[in-house]
Amino acid sequence: MRIRWARDCHHFITVMPRPIELVVTTTGQPAPWADLRETLLEHRVNVARVLVFDGNRETTPVGLVRSARLELMPLGAPIGGGSRRHFCALNRERPESGPLEVVAFDLHHQVHAVDDRSILENTAAIPDMIASARAIAGGSSIAVSVLSMGLHGVVDPRLHQDIGAAWLVASLAGLARGGADSVTFDGSLLIGGGDSPSPLLIALHAALEFSGAEVLPTDEMADLAILRLRSGKLIRTLIANLSDRPLALPESIVGSRSRRRAISLQGDWLGVALADPLPGRSAGIIDEDGSS
């Protein structure tokens, strides 16, 4: 395991104001816990959670978690593990949940098929995955780490097309409905978007603006994925059309005081009539005053 903490920690605290998720993967040699702990404390890195993995195992062994907790307790962050592979690996070789404060697993949507329709339809299984992970975890938190459209290290060009925003909104809606405690995004979401923000990045920013907001219940609707959030008096709805045809929006989320924001490459969706349909395999944002 190669660590360049002295160089990298300065980067963490200057360009990443949010708490970081620290992932430590060992490959048979003892982890340099003491060096890691002292460097993080020295640079005052705000750690949200620590996830530890054995690169030679499908899931985290108990001994590794206990070693990490013993050495990294001064960081004040929950320590957990799970699987750096897909949920199937976590389910196949279930870790002992007792020592894990966080149970984590990787989630991507190109396990069996890579076509547009399959990628979007696969997001419907997310709530069931979270429920199964919850059964494995007992009372531990559930972290999806990392969420990606495809395999790690492969940048799918569709990420920064309209379908990328639809996939992201559908994934976030599934994670919220399933009750996941946290989600970490794959770095490929930030690669290849061009000079202007892509629909996916606009959708991601819109979701992050409501980080920690109340998730409001929504009815399940065919071919639509809906994430409805309340922060103070403002309600934000992220909605994705998973079909390949335009769809009218449900009246329940389109009010007279609603304001749309365009996140489609197919044209400006801002200022159009509220009855106009959302283009196929794209996403949109609706903001409304929820004070009354």
Tell the residue number behind the tokens 């920064």, with chain if given: 160
From 18, 73, 72, select the one nearest 48 (Cα to Cα): 18
Per-residue pLDDT tens digits for 141-179? 999 998 988 777 677 888 888 999 999 999 999 999 999
Min mean pLDDT across 21-25, 133-137, 251-255, 263-267 is at: 263-267
CB-neighbour burial class of residue 210 (10 A; exposed 0-12, middle 13-18, buried 19+):
middle
DSSP symbols for 49-102: EEEEEETTSSS--HHHHHHHHHHHGGG---EEEEEEEEHHHHHHS---STT-SE
- Peptide bond before 15: cis, by omega within 30 degrees of 0? no
Choose between 188 and 222: higher pLDDT.
222
Give the integer Cα–Cα distance in Å for 231 and 246: 29
Three-state DSSP at 143 gives: strand
Top mean pLDDT of 5-9, 38-42, 209-213 is at 209-213
- pTM exceeds cut of 0.85: yes
Q: What is the DSSP string of 202-270?
A: HHHHHHHTTTTPEEEP---BTTEEEEEEEETTEEEEEEEE-SSS-BPPPGGG--TT-EEE---TTS--S
In the predicted structure, residue 1 carries a pLDDT above the cut 50: no
d(CA 282, CA 23): 33
Mean pLDDT, the chain, integer: 84
Average pLDDT of the segment spanning 112-118: 86
Q: Is the pLDDT of residue 122 over 80?
A: yes
The pLDDT score that the predictor gives to residue 155 is 79
- If you count them, how many residues does the chain have? 292
Q: Does domain 5-208 have CATH number 3.20.20.80?
A: yes
pLDDT in tens, 31-52: 889 988 988 888 888 899 999 9
**pLDDT computed for residue 116 by the predictor:** 92
pLDDT band at residue 287 under the 50/70/90 scheme: confident
When pLDDT is averaged across residues 83-88 and rounded to a whole number, the result is 88
Over residues 260-280, the mean pLDDT reads 57
Domain spans of the chain, in order of start: 5-208, 216-289
Beta-bridge partner residues of 221: 224
| pLDDT at 4 > cutoff 60 | no
* CATH topology (fold) of 216-289: Immunoglobulin-like (2.60.40)
